[in-house]
Amino acid sequence: MSVDLQSLEQEARAAIGAAADSRALDDVRVRYLGRKGALQDLMARIPTLPLEERRTFGAAVNGLKKILEEAIQERGRAFEAQGGGGKAFDVTLPGQQPFVGRRHPLMQVEQEICAIFGRLGFKVFRGPEVETEFHNFEALNIPLEHPSRDAFDTFYIESSDKTSHARRLLRSHTSPSQIRALKQCPPPMAVVVPGRVYRPDAVDASHSFMFHQVEGLAVDRDIRFSDLKGVLIAFAREMFGAKVRLRFRPSFFPFTEPSAEVDVSCFICGAEGCAVCKQTGWLEILGCGMVHPHVLRSAGVDPSVWRGFAFGMGVERITMLKVGIDDIRLFFENDLRLLEQF
């Protein structure tokens, strides 16, 4: 056999010694010990040797393999000890700024809303986005054929079972969680329910097929409309500033009686009249009312013992008002130039 293992060893040791960093060392390892490396090449020749040479030659190649593996490991450890894998490290270079993420503005506002109600004694409750037709409509006193259902119509999920307890849909408001919250936390109770809702609306500057709401519900023995007013005034002052005033306008929702829509005095122009409040001095922010007895009954709560108030507000609308964004689509485009401002 004409291969000179000794000079191969010398050559490999020189290459290991000359490797300037761990990457160069790895190249040397591949060159000698890799699958297509010099030693593998020698191993492949063993079966072609005369029988008497095979054993000694095989043992010699294996011995060399071990020697080189150890030498490479040792050199590698030396690089590690130097730190940085032996790569040159210029301490005068400016540092790299790590990218710091943050909560989406909508989630910041949602969190702020929940925190304010948290201080008023409300717990956070979460209901499913895929709801039953029963929870989204019937339990909330919205009968199958009632015209008010149009306003809350939504995306349905295909199912062969057409009963309202089985049929599923994407919830069109957070109100169905009132029923779930009442079943899970028997009164006296007070919860806020933040989350996504869906409607088959054409997308434009003020509409989106998906948006966020925060629902509120408080049920106790002697809850009155004045409690609702007090809680919402406390909320609005914290959210929009101590000077804001609220206006309750009579309205209709199937799940509350009486019902009201609430406006906050325009905190952008100080109720003087501006483009955002359309010169009215008022901004509509939520719907509310006293919980309809049908809703309590749907959740197994006796309306002759318990009463409650409820409210629901849109997180996009409140965020847009607070930060002065006039197009809802901006929230969902994920453009960092916008998101980084909050």
Residues that bind ligand DAH (CB under 6 A): 173, 175, 215, 253, 256, 287-289, 310-312
Nearer to ligand DAH, 37 or 314 (CB): 314
Relative orientation angle of helices 225-240 and 105-119, to the nearest 10 degrees: 130
Closest distance to ligand DAH from the beta carbon of 340 (Å): 31
Least Å distance between CB 312 and ligand DAH? 3
Q: How far is the CB of 313 from ligand DAH (least distance, A)?
A: 8
Cβ closest to ligand DAH, residue 68 vs residue 214: 214
181/288 with CB nearer ligand DAH: 288
Angle at 276 between CA 270 and CA 279, to 5 degrees: 70
Nearer to ligand DAH by C-beta: 71 or 190? 190
> Tokens 């952008």 appear where?
268
**How many Cβ atoms are within 10 Å of 110's Cβ, its own excluded?**
21
**Cα 304 to Cα 244: distance, rounded to the nearest angstrom:** 36
Q: Where are the alpha helices (DSSP H) in 152-256?
A: 176-184, 225-240
Residue 192 or 271: the one with the smaller Cβ distance to ligand DAH is 192
Question: Minimum Å distance from CB 256 to ligand DAH?
Answer: 4
Closer of 168 and 173 to ligand DAH (Cβ): 173
- Residue 228 CB, shortest distance to ligand DAH, in Å, is 9
Kindly state the smallest distance separating residue 153's Cβ from ligand DAH, in Å.
Answer: 12
In sequence order, what DSSP letters do the residues of 138-178 get, joined into one string? Answer: GGGT--TT-GGGGGG---EE--S--STTT-EEE-SSSTHHH
Shortest CB 336 distance to ligand DAH, Å: 31
* 147's tokens: 């015209």
Place of tokens 């593998």: 40
Q: What is the DSSP string of 80-115?
A: HHHSGGG----TTSPPPPPPPP---HHHHHHHHHHH
10 Å Cβ neighbour count for 117? Answer: 24
Residue 277 host element (H or E): none
Cβ proximity to ligand DAH: between 132 and 256 the closer is 256
List 263's β-bridge partners, or say none.
Answer: 247, 284
Question: Taking a C-beta distance cutoff of 8 angstroms, is the pair 134, 176 a contact?
Answer: no
**Which position's Cβ is nearest ligand DAH?**
312
Q: State the DSSP code for 186.
A: P
CB of 164 to ligand DAH, least distance (A): 18
Nearer to ligand DAH, 12 or 298 (CB): 298
